[in-house]
Amino acid sequence: MTHRSPVDLLVLHAVRLNGFASTAAVAARFGLDTEQTHEDLLDAQAYGRVSRSSFADLTGWSLTELGRRHNEAELRDELDRTGAHGTVAAVHEQFGPLNARALQIFTAWQLEPDRAPETVHQLSDLADRLRDLERPLAERLSRFAGYHDRFAAALARAEPRWITGVEVDSCHKVWFELHEDLVATLGITR
């Protein structure tokens, strides 16, 4: 049976995965109610776990150091309680070599535009592997669901910015986020 994470964990974790995000983006990450998320973020801010800052033309939420530690402690407790540590660690092990491959493909995409058709083919193979990585994770913890669908949707856009762009939910952004999710969940450094 898959475990559904509590909302306060999801709110904080969405900030972690987004890095720096608006209230709407934090809520959207796990399909939470925006107004409730806003309240939860204000609570987390009162506890010193998130901060709201502006730079350039951006305003958003990010985790404070304290919030980062709190997020990792919650994730650790969740892994212990659900007994999912073995599953996540095993997936992270498989992720290592695939990540090296993925970074190679994204870099080739940026530097060798002439090979684009070949790169797109490699990305679609990578999408298949991502589905295999996600399945056991999502069977234990529902919050891991969705990476493959987002990746495949970005790839299906067949537009350059949806491959490595930073302003949209591009293939690279989704992949980078899964990397961060695994690292955060296991409480390790990359």
Partner 1 sequence: MTVVPLVDAGPECGGKAHALAVLMRAGLPVPDGFVVVGPTDPEEIVGRLRGTAVAVRSSGLAEDSAAASFAGQLETVLGARGPAEVLAAVRRCAASAGTDRARGYRAHLGLADEADVPVIVQELIPADRAGALFTRDPRTGADAVVVNASWGLGESVVSGVVVPDEVVVSAAGVRVVVGSKQTRLDLRAQGLVRTPVPAPDRNRPCLAPDEVDRLVALGRRCAEVASRPQDVEWAIDGDRIWLLQSRPITAFGPPLATGVPSGSGRATGPARLVRSVDEFARVRPGDVLVCRATDPTWTPLFRLVAAVVTESGGVLSHAAIVAREFGIPAVVGADRAMVDLTDGAPVTVDGIAGTVTAGSHR
In the complex, the residues that contact partner 1 under the rule CB under 8 A are: 16-20, 51, 53, 55-56, 58, 60, 62-65, 68, 100, 103-104, 106-107, 110-112, 114-115, 164-166, 172, 176-177, 179-180, 183, 189-190
Q: H/E element holding 78?
A: helix 65-82
Q: Please state, in angstroms and rounded to a whole number, the distance separating the CA atoms of residues 24 and 3.
A: 24
Q: Which is nearer to partner 1, 31 or 57 (CB)?
A: 57
Instruction: Tell me whether residue 140 or residue 170 sits nearer to partner 1 (CB atom).
Output: 170
Give the shortest CB-96-to-partner 1 separation in angstroms.
Answer: 13
Query: Which value, to the nearest 10 degrees, does the dihedral of the CA atoms of residues 184, 100, 158, 121 take?
Result: -140
> Smallest distance from the beta carbon of 165 to partner 1, in angstroms?
6
Q: Check: CB of residue 11 under 8 Å from CB of residue 32.
A: yes
Minimum distance between the CB of residue 7 and partner 1, rounded to whole angstroms? 21
